[in-house]
Structure 1
Amino acid sequence: MTIQPARLSDPAVRAFVSAVNSHDRDGFLALLAPGATMSDDGSDRDLDDWIDREIFSSHGHLDVDNESDGGHTLLARYRNDAWGEMRTRWSFTVDDDGRISRFETGQA
């Protein structure tokens, strides 16, 4: 059963999922701490290049199936125009100011 983004526990993660699903690149970037980093399948990636390719230019969309770790870890079905749909895990490091300093994703 899918968890609606508005029902996700952590406000930063909730806003992240909402920005991805509404294709709001500016809103997405505003959620990230300065110098934020990310990894995909265990390899660090260039954040700007990755989000453009994997989320915004390819119409990425997250359907969250489960959350854990206080809302900082998600199991979700992720789809985009490049890869279709796959089961993924997302984990987030949220700073004290409520911004995301790192996210990691990969196939689950």
Structure 2
Amino acid sequence: MPANVNDAAVRAFIDAVNAGDRVAFSEALTPDATMTDDGRERDLLQWAEREIFSANGRMDVVSTADGGRSLIADFTNDTWGAMRTRWTFTVEDGRIARFDTGQA
């Protein structure tokens, strides 16, 4: 992971995804966190289960901006294979309140 992912909440999110750790993933999020995928609102927990945990999802960060709150990553899972993705995070009180992702 590039050293310029300076935001601790984003680092925790990425580490949880790559470890397949549902508990750490939940702890990285605010209780009411929301998300979009390719511009469409999704149920975050259902999406995470399908795209990350049940499908062995993994993020390899390629580049970052905004202190690591915006990034480009190669996202790989057993369902879709590898794809270049963009991620933008909104952080509140040290946890992720929202993220927006989609193909880059």
Q: TM-score w.r.t. structure 2 length?
A: 0.96
Paired position in structure 1 for 2:75: 78
In structure 1, stretches of 5+ residues that fail to align are none
| 1:92 aligned onto 2:62 | no
Deviation at 1:78, TM superposition (A): 0.2
For residues 12-27 of structure 1, the aligned pairs below 5 Å read 12-27=9-24
Deviation at 1:38, TM superposition (A): 0.3
Alignment RMSD (CA, Å) = 0.8
| 1:61 aligned onto 2:58 | yes
- Residue identity opposite 1:57 in structure 2: S
Paired position in structure 2 for 1:30: 27
Count of paired positions: 103
Q: Secondary structure at the match of 1:9?
A: coil
% identical equivalent positions: 57
- Residue identity opposite 1:100 in structure 2: I
Q: TM-score w.r.t. structure 1 length?
A: 0.92
Paired position in structure 2 for 1:103: 99
Q: Distance in 2 between matches of 1:99 and 1:89?
A: 19
